[in-house]
Each structure stands twice: as C-alpha cells, then as structure tokens.
Amino acid sequence: MRKRIDPGHDEDATLLAGWMYADLLLGLMVIFLATISFVPIDNFISKSLVKANYKQVDKAFNFNRGLSLVYDKFDAAGLEKDIEAFKKREGLDNDSEIIFAQILGGYDPKTEDVENGRNRALQYSFSLTEDKNGLFRNASVTAGGESGLKKDQIALRLTFVSKLK
C-alpha cells in the first residue's frame, strides 16, 4: 500500500543549496578561464602597449619650460617683446599661444596679508584682458600673492602651446 504524503512536511532543499553554490562558482571559474586564455602571453612584455597613434603638433617635441617674468608696472609693449624673444630663443612657432598664466602680486608680509598681493595680481590681470594684442585671449589665468616679491612687483608665469592645425 502507498504511503500518504504528510501535508505538514514540505520537501527540504537546504541540503542542495551548498551544491548549487559550488556549481555556480565552478561555472564562473570556467567562464573566467575560457576568456583569459585568449590573451597573448607576450602582451605583458610588448613595447607596443605604450605607443599611441597621434601626432605632435609642434615639431614632434613636448615643450616643458615656461616663461617667468617680473614687472614693476604694466607695460604691454615690453611684455609682448619679452614673449616674442622667448619664443624665438626656445624655437617655438610664431603662432604658439599662451594657454595658462599665473599672476602673482607682491606684498609686504610685515604690514599686509596675501590678499593685498592677490588684489594687485587681479588688477594686473584686468589690464592684460584689456590689452589689444590678444596674447591672453585663450589663456586660463590664476592670481595669487607672493611675499618674495616687492610690494610693487608682479610676477608672470606663462605656459605656451602650439595652435592646432
């Protein structure tokens, strides 16, 4: 005679959970090993990993020196002359432009704080933007104060780049 199923006791599947978890990990391991086996072995030794497919714009070299100038007053003609001399001396193209300018205003730390130097730098930067030659048209400008400069001095740190052609 057949035994009746007791409706109060369902089948317990918790014993199978461990095996299902192990099968899942085994499946993930197989997928991982299958995909990693397609990576070439000498890819880690290859020198072509760091090569990029791009062209340098300016005579195939990176220019990593900037121009630092110190002025006592705003002189647009003198600034333009100094920049042209720097381009010529360093072998930069005539159409290379300034992309970054850091302007530092001098201050006396005994009687002033850094804000006074920063304000002098900001006033100088306003004069640069009003200048007609447009040297700083595409430049990103930051202003700050420097206690190493005299109270009436302004320092310029300029970074150049060649125009994209």
pLDDT one-digit tens code per residue, 7-49: 666 777 777 788 888 999 999 999 988 887 665 555 555 555 5
Question: Is 24 domain-assigned?
Answer: no
Taking only the tens place, the pLDDT of each residue in 99-130 is: 888 999 999 999 999 999 999 999 998 888 77
pLDDT value of position 54: 47
Q: Is the dihedral of CA 9, 15, 19, 21 positive or negative?
A: positive
Domain count, the chain: 1
Question: Is 102 domain-assigned?
Answer: yes
Say if residue 3's pLDDT is above 80.
no
Mean pLDDT of the chain: 79
Contact call for residues 121 and 144 (beta carbons, < 8 A): yes
User: What range defines the domain where residue 144 resides?
Assistant: 67-161
Q: Cα angle vertex 68, ends 146, 162, to 5°?
A: 130
Question: Is 118 domain-assigned?
Answer: yes
Question: Is 81 domain-assigned?
Answer: yes
Question: Is 136 domain-assigned?
Answer: yes
Question: Is 141 domain-assigned?
Answer: yes
For residue 83, the SS3 value is helix
Question: Is 89 domain-assigned?
Answer: yes
Residue 128: CATH number of its domain: 3.30.1330
Taking only the tens place, the pLDDT of each residue in 61-92 is: 455 568 888 999 888 888 889 989 988 888 88
Question: Is 16 domain-assigned?
Answer: no
Q: What is the 3-state secondary structure (H, E, C) of 55-79?
A: CCCCCCCCCCCCEEEEECCCCHHHH
From 68, 80, 31, 79, select the one nearest 157 (Cα to Cα).
Answer: 68
